[in-house]
Amino acid sequence: VLSLYVAFRTGNLHLLGLFPLAVVGLYLYSTILKKSFLLGNLLVSFYCSGVAGIIWLAEYPSLQQLALIDPEVHSYIQFVFGVYMLLAFLSTLFREIIKDIEDLNGDVTYNSKSIPIVWGIQKAKRTSFIIGMALLLTMIFALYNLTLVDYPFKISFVILTMISPMILALTWLLRAQSKKQYHRLSQLTKFLMVSGILLLLIISM
- pTM of the entire predicted model: 0.89
What is the Cα–Cα distance from 201 to 205, expressed in whole angstroms?
A: 6
What is the Cα–Cα distance from 101 to 92, expressed in whole angstroms?
A: 14
- Measured CA distances, 99 to 14, 91, 175 (Å): 36, 12, 16
Q: 204 CB contacts (<8 Å, ≥6 apart)?
A: none
- Measured CA distances, 13 to 1, 8, 131, 152 (Å): 13, 6, 37, 43
What is the Cα–Cα distance from 163 to 136, expressed in whole angstroms?
A: 6
pLDDT at 181 > cutoff 80: yes
The proportion of the chain whose per-residue pLDDT surpasses 90, expressed as a percent, equals 46
Three-point CA angle 50, 173, 158, nearest 5°: 55
pLDDT at 127 > cutoff 80: yes
What is the Cα–Cα distance from 20 to 26, expressed in whole angstroms?
A: 10
* 41 confidence band (pLDDT: 50, 70, 90): very high
pLDDT tens-place string over residues 140-168 = 988 887 766 567 777 888 889 899 999 99
Q: How many helices (H) and strands (E) does the chain have?
A: 11, 0
What is the Cα–Cα distance from 123 to 191, expressed in whole angstroms?
A: 25
3-state SS of 102-130?
HCHHHHHHCCCCCHHHHHCHHHHHHHHHH
